[in-house]
Structure 1
Amino acid sequence: MNILVTGGAGFIGSHVVEKLLMEECHVVVIDNLSTGIRGHVPAGVKFIQMDICSEELLDVFTKERFDAVIHLAAQTMVPVSLNKPDYDCQVNLLGTVNILEACRKTGVKRVVFSSTAAVYGDVDNVPIVESAATRPTSFYGLSKFSVEKYLQMYQQIFGLEYVVLRYANVYGERQGDGGEGGVISIFTRKINQNEVLSVYGNGDQSRDFIYAGDVAAANYRALMTSHVNGIYNISTQTEVSVNQLIKILGQIAGREVQKQYCPVRQGDIYRSALSNQAAREKLGWQCEMLLVDGLARTYRDIRKGV
C-alpha cells in the first residue's frame, strides 16, 4: 500500500510512520514542520515539506497516487483555537477539505482521520460511547467535529471511504508541550528539572491517557478494516485524575513533586474517559501499554533529550 501520512514529522505521526514501516507499507510524509521535527521521520521515508493548505498539494497526490491517507496534520491546542479561531479553522477545516479534494480528484480509496475526545465536551457519564451527544467547548473540538461531517458527506457524494479515530489524551516519546496530552510532556520535563508543576483546577479533573504506540496500531488497523465509514474511540477506557498522574510520575522519578493550583482554564473539559469497545470489536484493536510503563518510557525519553 502507498500511504500518505500528513503531519508525519509530528509526535503521533512519527509513531504512525514507524508502525506502517513495520507492516511493510510504502510511506510518504507531508509536514510543514511548524511543530513537527524533520529528524522524527525515519531514514528512507520520502519527506515533503508542505502545508496542507497549499495549492500544490494536488500535484503531490497526482504524482504519488496514494491508496490511502492518514491525516494527522492539525492545530491541536485548545487555547490557540480560542484565541485564534480563524487560524484553527484554516488549518483543521480548510486544510482538510484541501486534502479531501485531492483525494477525490486522484482516486484515493480511504482516509483515516485523527479526531479527538474534545468533540464530546463535558459529559457526566463516562466512559463515553461514540453515540454520545457532541457538545464541544472549544473551536478546536468544533473544527474536528466539522471535519467528521465533511468526511461523511464526501463518502455519501463521492464514495470516499473514511475511518474516524477519536483519540483520548495521547502521550509518549517525542511529545511536545502542545496538544491535548501535552500535560504529561510538560510535567515530565518540569519534574526532571525539579520545577513546580502548575495544576489548573483542583487536580481532580480526569483524562484517559493512551500511549502513542497504541494509537499508531489503531491507525494501521483502520487502514486494514472492512468496517469503514465509522467513528471509533481510541482509548484505555480508564479515568486518571491529574493528581493521580502526578503521584505516578513522582514515583517514577523517585522524588517529591512540587505543585501549585491555578484557576481553571477556559475550554478545558473536567472529566474524560472513552469507551473503546467499538474499536476492539470492529477494528480488532486493543490498547496494550500500561500507564505506568508508558509514563516510564516517556520520562526516560525526556531525560535522554536533556
Structure 2
Amino acid sequence: MIITKTPEEIELMRESALIVSKTLGMLAKELKPGVTTNQLDKKAEEFIRDHGAEPGFLGLYGCPSTLLTSVNEAVVHGLPTDKPLEEGDVVAIDCGALKNGFYGDHAYTFELGEVNPETKKLLDITKESLYVGIREFKHGNRVGDVGFAIQNFCEKEGYGVVRELVGHGLGKKMHEDPEMPNYGKRGRGKKFVEGMVVAIEPMINLGTHRIKQLQDGWTIVTRDGKPSAHFEHDVALVNGKPEILSTFAYIYEALGIQSDEEKEFRQNELVL
C-alpha cells in the first residue's frame, strides 16, 4: 500500500534528506587515498547525531554500520573496513538518517583522484540516468515508466542494469511501497499519486548486470569483477511534478564542482 505524505510531512522528510546530504558533503572533504571506510563510518555517525538525527542504517535489519560503502566492483551494501582506499578507486557511499520520525536515504559514487576514463564514463552515465528516471516520476505515469527510462538510457551505453536490487518508497519506514526497479516497461506497475515519496537509485554495472553476495552477508559485487556505480535521490510528487528532497550540492561545494542539474526538480530555491 502506498502511504502518501502531507505537505508538512514532506517538509519533515526534506529535513531528514538534507541531513544525509550534509553528511555526504562532509565525507567528500575526507575522502582521499589512505583513508579507510571505517574511519568515514565513525565520522558519519558522529555528524548525524550532532545534527539531531539518528543513523538510519545502523541496526536496521541488523546492519552494523552507519554507512554502506561499496568500492569498485561492489555494487551496494558494502560494509566499512580497515582497508585503506587507493588512488583510482570509486566508492559508492549510501547513507540514511532518521529525524522527526521520517527517514532520509541517498547515495553518491565518489572518485578518488584520477579514475580511468571507462569507469568515469560509467559514473557520469549512471548519475545522468538518475535524472532521466526522476523526470518520469510525475502525474499520470507509473513505476514502469521510471524503470524503462533508466534501463533504456543505460543499456544504450552497453551497461548492465542490476535487477535484484531496486529503489523504494520512503517515509516512517526505510522501505515502503512501491518498489522502484531500474528496468521495466512503460505503462506498467503502480500509478504515481500526489504526496508519494520514493528513493530512485540506479545501480549500474560496467559489464554484466549479474551480481553475487559476499560471505559477509551484506556486500553485493558484480559477477565479472568490473566496477559499478550507484546514485540515489529522495523525490516527492508535489503538484504533479518531481520535487527532489535531497541534494548533491554539499558534495559539489566540497569538491568545487559547478552544477545546475537539480534546478528543474526544485519548485523553491534550495538554501544551503
TM-score range, shorter chain: under 0.3
Structure number with greater CO (CA < 8 Å, separation at least 6) is 2
- What TM-score results when the alignment is normalised by the length of structure 2? 0.27
Q: From the CA coordinates, give the structure whose radius of gyration is larger.
A: 1
- What TM-score results when the alignment is normalised by the length of structure 1? 0.25
Q: Larger % of helix: which?
A: 1
Q: Larger % of strand: which?
A: 2
